[in-house]
Structure 1
Amino acid sequence: MGYNSKKRENKESDNGEREDANPSTSGVRKKEQILPSMVKNKAKRSEIHAKLKHEKKLEKRKKLKSRDAADKRALELGEELPARPIPRTIENTREADETVCKPGDEELFAELETDEFSGVLKTERIPKVLITTCRFNSTRGPDFIKELLEVIPNSAYRKRGTYDLKKIITYATKKDFTSLMVVHTNRREPDALLIIGLPDGPTAHFKLSKLVLRKDIKNHGKPTSHSPELVLNNFTTRLGCRVGRMIQSLFPQNPEFRGRRVVTFHNQRDYIFFRHHRYVFEAKDKKRADSKNKDKDTAEIKISDKVKARLQECGPRFVLKLISLQHGTFDPRGGEFEWTHKPEMDTSRRRFFL
């Protein structure tokens, strides 16, 4: 007991000397933030995490209140609103690309005037699309093709059977089709889409994923037979412009606005999201009955001048990712590829090609 008490006294004296010798370092240690990863106890770790999350939420709320107060003060004084900070995203911090299209690029405009899609886009030829499948079709493939036929005007379906794809290309060219679409299926699920420009190409191979058919979309609408409006977003590079023009050549260039149909291809991080909607503009006017008087004749009518746009999705819904772009029509052995996706291209999250 005596030895242990002496040892404890020596430790206390040593600790006292250390604390007295370096008072500043002890204060720094107290101010150091304890992170959840530094704690081994699970209950304590979750408690510290919840505390840090609450502090972060309070700090964010404080910043929002100060920003709203500054905006209100500027409006009262008739000054300009303070500039909002632009958040850092993967899109606005993307790597610099030399192939991004510029407004005054005359060389690009000259290429667009003479490319394979110029005849359709100048309305010299009427777009006409032939849709077929791979040799071994699935149960879900025909449902997807049925909805594609309603999305793309002037489109027709032909059963593939045992015909070779080159023979189908020859047949479609003789019948004055401007494009050929091949839906490939794997394990009863469409997983790829091949778009071939006729008669001179090019051929684009897309990976198809996250397919949702119309019947699986909640509160879906039924499209009309009118020619849709086409929206193409974020096809900014030379390759993206070429792919966008290929997609544009599938649809007529004179949309019928009476049908209120919109087909959207939105490119984000080299993933092309497809959506099909119907829209309607309506004034926000509702009739509300007076709570005190139940008589229908004495109903209050509140009319607002605001016009709202309502959307109704018609389906289908899917995502495309470009795998390759080939010169000419489909030729897997001797064809020349303009662009192919390789695994070593995915080294950076901020590098995009479309």
Structure 2
Amino acid sequence: MGKRKRLEEEDGHKPLAGDILPSQIKNKQKRSEASAKVKLEKKKAKKQRIESRNKAEKQAFELGEIPLPRKIPRTIENTREVDETIAQPDDDELHADDGADEFSAHFRREHTPKLLITACQKCFSRTRKFIRELLNIIPNAHYYKRGSYTLKQIVKYAKNREFTSLIVVHENQREPNDLLIVSLPEGPTAHFRLSNLVLSKEIKNHGRATRHLPELILNNFTTRLGHRIGRLLASIFPQDPNFHGRRAVTFHNQRDFIFFRHHRYIFESKELKEQSSKPLSKTDAVAPKKKLTAAKQAVIARLQECGPRFTLKLTSLQNGTFNSKYGEYEWIHKPDMDTSRRRFFL
């Protein structure tokens, strides 16, 4: 005799519907109805908790007291594993390395970035469209057809013509899937996996980019490796943006995925109507339906995405320029690194 049936005989009543889990109901229709009911009850309970919390905070502010601090939800980001390589703002060793690394000349404004973009030996239309959009985004970028040349030959050609960076777009099944960024003339070389590509024409209500130099935003590159990757990406763009153009290029790192976005922004003033605190006159008392309003100016920011959008995932960082056979790797992604969801490297 089961425990539930024994309790029924002792108490002389059947268990309530809430005592039975929806997964224990065999009938599919009744199981779905019970599941929907439990879901609705949870939603109502959550709404009540939020309303009671907001009410308590409002009362605390009215009494001049400090409200109870809100609970911080547990996320993968704020529960990440402790990493000793996280860069600190007052790290003198990191500042010394920045002054002597391969990108120091760029950040000292000793030269203007000049970029060479190429692709695999036989690329299809979607890859060509992606390269065309990269040329519109990155200032002073030039496209050269790959032909039958090897990457070592292209690197040598780019060095001789004083290019500062090289980008190679690879594709698989007619879809761009890899991005190779080589900093010239001394490296390093970063290999990224490219995914979730959305071209500009595929974005609803997309904007058109102008020729102004864009502003660069690098977000959440916290570790030593992430700091180095951020400097590599920053070396592609000029140091002095044209703020008049209102263009912004963003590389946002989250869980070691680098999200690329390209926007135009605008600031405009908007009138906000507020209820007036003036006392009502006799005319207003006769017509109580009319409310006195006072216009207030507020400045708001609006964004328009220009595209494209894509996601990068670092697979390797190599010392020097591209050399697949004898290259020395600073960092390379291995399958055993993915054993924990809370371990991040950038």
* 3-state SS, counterpart of residue 110 of structure 2: coil
The reply to whether residue 313 of structure 1 matches residue 299 of structure 2 is no
Shift of 1:80: 2.5
User: Which residue is equivalent to 2:343?
Assistant: 351
Q: Match for residue 194 of structure 2?
A: 208
Residue of structure 1 in register with 2:85 after alignment: 99
Match of 1:46 among 14, 32, 49: 32
Offset at residue 187 of structure 1 (A)? 1.5
Which structure 2 residue ranges, 5 or more long, are not aligned? 273-292
Match of 1:183 in 2: 169
Q: Is the 8 A contact 1:202 1:326 kept in 2?
A: yes
Whether contact under 8 Å (1:36, 1:48) holds in the other structure is yes
Counterpart Cα distance in 2 of 1:51 and 1:219? 40
By how many angstroms is 1:302 displaced?
Answer: 8.1
CA distance in 2, matches of 1:304, 1:279: 23
Corresponding residue for residue 232 of structure 1: 218
Once residues 161 and 16 of structure 1 are traced to their aligned partners in structure 2, the CA distance between those partners, rounded to angstroms, is: 81
Matched to 1:164, the amino acid is: T
For 1:164, the equivalent position in structure 2 comes to 150
**Unaligned stretches of 5+ in structure 1?**
1-10, 287-300
Query: Residue by residue, what CA displacement relative to the aligned partner does 1:106-135 show, whole Å, maximum 9, x if unpaired?
Result: 111111111101110121121111111111
Identity of aligned residues (%): 59
The aligned amino acid for 2:150 is D
| Whole-angstrom distance in 2 between the partners of 1:72 and 1:150 | 50
- For 1:187-214, what per-residue CA distance to the aligned partner results, in whole angstroms no more than 9, with x for missing partners? 1111110000001000000000111111
Matched positions, count: 324
- The TM-score, its normalising length taken from structure 1, stands at 0.87
Instruction: Give the Cα–Cα distance (whole angstroms) in 2 for the partners of residues 153 and 334 of structure 1.
Output: 33
- Residue from 232, 255, 259 that aligns with 1:246: 232
The one-letter amino acid paired with 1:353 is F
Cα distance 1:16–1:122, how it changes in 2: closer, same or farther (>3 A)? Answer: closer
Moved more, 73-82 or 137-146: 73-82
Specify the SS of the correspondent of 1:308: strand
Q: Which amino acid aligns with 2:236?
A: L
Change (3 A) 1:229 1:36: same
Distance 2:218 2:7 in 1: 73
Structure 1 equivalent of residue 318 of structure 2:
326
After TM superposition, give the deviation of residue 174 of structure 1 in Å.
Answer: 1.2
Letter in 1 for 2:254: Q
State the structure with more CA Rg: 1
Note the alpha carbon deviations across 1:88-123, whole angstroms, 9 max, x for none. 111001111111111221111111111101110121
Change beyond 3 A, Cα 1:16–1:230: closer
Aligned ranges 1:1-354 → 2 under 5 Å:
19=9, 33-285=19-271, 303-354=295-346
Would the aligned equivalents of 1:231 and 1:265 in 2 still touch at CA under 8 Å? yes
